[in-house]
Structure 1
Amino acid sequence: MKLRWMAISGGLAAAVVTAGACGSEPVAPCVVGRAVFESSTGSFATTYELKAGQNPDLVCARLKPEPLGLQKFFNPDPKAPDTVGVRSARLGNLLRDFASRLSDASKASATAVGPFASETPGEDRFCTVPQLTPTRLDVTEAQAPDGGILPAQEFGYTWSNLRIYNTPEIPGTQFTSDLVYTENGCTAEYTVKGIWPVVSCQGADGGPDEAKCDPYADYDAGRLRGSGINPLFPVKCDPDVRICVLTGEVPSAP
């Protein structure tokens, strides 16, 4: 299917409306945060929470916060739904590191894609993508530089119930989703949530700096501008990966 990119900033998206029935209030279509902010283009600061009953000691149960790309695609067929693509930064690194050991089919599956359930948000203000195509990277066995054997590996991402919050105050800049992640036969289930944009909070000493997540400038401290994160979002600096992440639920504001 031929796809074309949709690039709409959060502010512009809030102003885009579809005409409803005569006399009815216009309803904004589903949008996904996409404006460019420093190095963040359509990237969401994403956290992974293991669902109940999962074993946190398993290798597949250790996903860390990271940037995750969400992208809305217009469907050229006006009768067909638009779609959303999803790809994590970690998956991008796997594609790079194992590029010579991946089949074309694995590479083609790297971006999970699924159709919106409706053109406009539901009554709960969420735009829902119930199912997305699974991603499976099958890394073939290979010979190591020292003559040894590099074992075959497999990684899988199955996203579902992707829900993107859409209101004038939060125009497609918060999402939540379910994820089944597999790694070499190990499987874990997660609840995932994220906010746009991705903001680094690494301090001058290399450690976390909470001030960099502050949406407001502090001239006395020499910080001439805020983080760019919506002031409605409760956030903290993740100490492991040093990006600002959501601490509340989705939606975390009206």
Structure 2
Amino acid sequence: MKRRRLVWMAGLAALSPLAALSPGCSQPKPECTVGTALVSPFAAKFTLIEGDEESPCGRKAGTVERVGMEAYNPDENGDQIPDSDRKLVAIQTEEFGGWARGGATVDPNPDLNPFAVGFFTSIEPDDNEICTVSSLAPAEVVVLPSGEGGEGGAGDGGAGGEGGAGGAGDGGAGGAGDGGAGGAGGAGDGGAGGAGDGGAGGEGGAGDGGAGGGGEPTLEPGPRKLEWSNVRLYVTAANLGNQFEAEVTYSEESCSARYKVVGVWPIVDCQVYGENPDPEGEPLPTGKGDESICQDPLSGISPDLKVKCDPVAFVCVLDSESIPAFKK
């Protein structure tokens, strides 16, 4: 079974190492941290608490999204020396990261970040083992009208075509060939497609190993914003930021909706796959989940956590509306 992995936090510094645990009668608290996106995203369940579910902003209700987090110490006074007394958290959804990496034509304004960022209120967990990020600068992407570039040429191993973005090959972006201006590639197993070599906009050519073609719906232009708040992570030596809860407001030009979000790290696929008659092909999804995968101590999820297989997304999610969520 192929597992998806995204490298969506490029450009952010890696986590500073946790303080070494010293011997003695009591174990010191770990620093506040998160399950790192450099290894895996969180599986985050969105529950609508305010807004119209039928509006474009209500489309996340009941969905499970891949959410990447990274924690790091900022520079002290801009001198490239990490400030050990403060720690930032960056949060980015797969959707916003995909748009920013070429899945849409977006405003290149450097003041717009596809990730939210904010400080932990303390460097260590509180008495309830909770680390909090009360407020964060929002994640913002402005989608621009498409069609400004030329028609995409064919990529290596596939023919280009008019009518929409080229589909990405497994694990890679669907970029245009060298001969023409590329549009946005479709999302492959590894994440969202990138723009072709010839430039952004227009109709994309095929990615390596994939054929271009029409049929992809056009993303409506306009601003998109995710405003995260009250982000809370459970952090102990045994559970280093592997579950979180938060509130988030998603807004577009004409609407907004507020959600409660709970997430578990790492993301684990719990779908059942069947045999592919093509010996060279990938196993075929059956549209059925297997609860035992989420309970498997070798899944990567802490065996202490109360999780279940989501019947729609087919990934393991927290079986709770709040944290900490532990088995009894």
TM range, normalised to the smaller chain? 0.7 to 0.9
Q: Counterpart of 1:214 in structure 2: which amino acid?
A: Q
Which whole-Å deviations, capped at 9, do the CAs of 1:68-127 have from their partners, x for residues lacking one? 1010012232375110000011212222321x3422336x41121111111111112111
Aligned sequence identity (%): 30
Q: Give me the whole-angstrom Cα distance separating, in 2, the residues matched to 1:175 and 1:49.
A: 14
Q: Which residue of 2 aligns with 1:67?
A: 66
Q: Is the 8 A contact 1:237 1:243 kept in 2?
A: yes
Q: Which residue of 2 aligns with 1:131?
A: 135
Corresponding residue SS for 1:199: coil
Structure 1 residue 235: Cα displacement: 1.6
Which whole-Å deviations, capped at 9, do the CAs of 1:37-71 have from their partners, x for residues lacking one? xxxx14111111111x4322222112120211010
Q: Is the 8 A contact 2:99 2:106 kept in 1?
A: no
**Structure 1 segments (4+ residues) deviating >6 Å:** 144-147
Q: How does 1:67-216 map to 2 (within 5 A)?
A: 67-77=66-76, 78=83, 81-95=86-100, 96-98=102-104, 100-105=105-110, 108-143=112-147, 152-204=221-273, 205-210=285-290, 211-216=292-297
Q: Give me the whole-angstrom Cα distance separating, in 1, the residues matched to 2:103 and 2:12.
A: 27
Structure 1 residue 27: Cα displacement: 2.7
Q: Which residue of 1 aligns with 2:323?
A: 250
Q: Give me the whole-angstrom Cα distance separating, in 1, the residues matched to 2:64 and 2:219.
A: 28
Q: Give me the whole-angstrom Cα distance separating, in 2, the residues matched to 1:93 and 1:112.
A: 15
Q: Is the 8 A contact 1:101 1:142 kept in 2?
A: no
Structure 1 residue 151: Cα displacement: 5.1
Which whole-Å deviations, capped at 9, do the CAs of 1:195-231 have from their partners, x for residues lacking one? 1110011211431322322224xxxxxxxxx322111
Q: Is the 8 A contact 2:142 2:222 kept in 1?
A: yes
Q: Is the 8 A contact 2:37 2:70 kept in 1?
A: no
Distance 1:166 1:135, change over 3 A: same
Structure 1 residue 242: Cα displacement: 1.4
Q: Counterpart of 1:92 in structure 2: which amino acid?
A: G
Q: Is the 8 A contact 1:7 1:34 kept in 2?
A: no
Stretches of structure 1 that go unaligned for 5 or more consecutive residues are 217-225
Q: Which residue of 1 aligns with 2:8?
A: none
Q: Is the 8 A contact 1:102 1:138 kept in 2?
A: yes
Q: Is the 8 A contact 2:228 2:248 kept in 1?
A: yes
Which whole-Å deviations, capped at 9, do the CAs of 1:113-157 have from their partners, x for residues lacking one? 11111111111211111111112211122437779x985222110
TM-score, normalised to structure 1, is 0.78
Q: Counterpart of 1:152 in structure 2: which amino acid?
A: P
Q: Give me the whole-angstrom Cα distance separating, in 1, the residues matched to 2:262 and 2:15.
A: 22
Q: Which residue of 1 aligns with 2:31?
A: 29
Give the count of matched residue pairs. 228
In the alignment, structure 1 residue 55 sits paired with structure 2 residue 127: no
Q: Give me the whole-angstrom Cα distance separating, in 2, the residues matched to 1:30 and 1:150.
A: 38
2:43 to 42, 45, 51: 45
Q: Give me the whole-angstrom Cα distance separating, in 1, the residues matched to 2:20 and 2:51.
A: 42
Q: Counterpart of 1:72 in structure 2: which amino acid?
A: A
Corresponding residue SS for 2:287: coil
Pick the structure with more strand per residue: 1
Distance 1:70 1:16, change over 3 A: farther
2:308 to 202, 221, 236: 236
Q: Is the 8 A contact 1:102 1:137 kept in 2?
A: yes
Stretches of structure 2 that go unaligned for 5 or more consecutive residues are 1-10, 77-82, 149-161, 164-201, 203-217, 274-284
Which whole-Å deviations, capped at 9, do the CAs of 1:157-201 have from their partners, x for residues lacking one? 011111111123322111111100013321000111101110011
Q: Give me the whole-angstrom Cα distance separating, in 2, the residues matched to 1:244 and 1:150.
A: 29
